[in-house]
Structure 1
């Protein structure tokens, strides 16, 4: 689906992950697991849990999402994050989106999600985004753009949010912008 580099909003580019990105991706994962570090326990024990989860993620994505697309996000030639999508037979699914700490809270994530929605409209599939229930900023953004919760796929931690493109969006007649949710199949 992506060969080379793709220009995204906010001057970000995306390219397929390469072997040389392995250390960066592992470091990014470890750096952003403050949720585990806040748990009660000894530091070594919590760091071991983070390492086990990193291994489970690396091994699990391949089995669970065989059509996944692993992209490294760059800005001005520097790696600032990663995004992983699964191009399923039914939907385009965001699996993972993460940024280095200096790139957080700058609107980059919303730009990536809108790009994903544009792609979903082009391939005439709904977009599925998992949102942590405690991430109210993301949930508000998704609701604003017409996502609804798919309760059969949700759990206590994650709301699986789904967006259906309109006929006009799929035909490229209108831009992706805030709107009420549209229900149904594409």
Structure 2
């Protein structure tokens, strides 16, 4: 499956990336050459879920690859003006932060970190920095992700109800 590239970064993308840089983490606009890393990152975020399927590794890999492709297409087509940031620490790609700042409330489209960068306060720092800049922040959280739900609640996000499928919409003002 040939995936579309990222929309061109807007004129304020570099300034926003600088304003959101936290905890030794640098943000930069995602590029087409980042897709292999982002594909691997997506797979890491789904490994626990896929491990219990009983599927052979080849089937899990194919499934994750297809799901990543569909998610990427969805994100770039439904959020064409979003900032698609790759997170780096010490020159190493460690995650992604997709943020749509076009609405009254800024919407965190996605946040994901490689497994060895989780639990170090990076997500918390990014969300706090975003809340400091935005009039309000919204996001969706999977109902089967209790750790993320606890984090968002701790950071002042409140549940606004179903966001479709297996997700809840949350908002912080």
TM-score after normalising by structure 1: 0.76
Q: 1:37 — aligned with what?
A: 51
**How far apart are 1:52 and its partner, in Å?**
1.1
Residues 130, 37 of structure 1: CA spacing in aligned structure 2 closer, same or farther, 3 A cutoff? Answer: same
21-30 vs 104-113, greater mean Cα deviation: 21-30
**How far apart are 1:32 and its partner, in Å?**
2.4
Q: 1:162 — aligned with what?
A: 171
Can you give the 5+ residue segments of structure 1 that lack an aligned partner in the other structure? 165-186
**How far apart are 1:87 and its partner, in Å?**
2.1
Q: 1:91 — aligned with what?
A: 105
Greater relative CO (CA pairs within 8 A, separation 6+): 2
- Give 3-state SS (helix, strand or coil) of 2:103's partner: coil
| Equivalent in 23, 26, 40 of residue 27 of structure 1 | 40
Can you give the 5+ residue segments of structure 2 that lack an aligned partner in the other structure? 1-11
Residues 146, 32 of structure 1: CA spacing in aligned structure 2 closer, same or farther, 3 A cutoff? Answer: closer
Q: 2:9 — aligned with what?
A: none
CA contact (8 A) 2:39 2:65 kept: no
Two-structure CA RMSD over aligned residues (Å)? 2.0
Does the alignment pair 1:104 with 2:118? yes
Task: State how far apart, in whole Å, the 2-side matches of 1:73 and 1:61 are.
Answer: 17
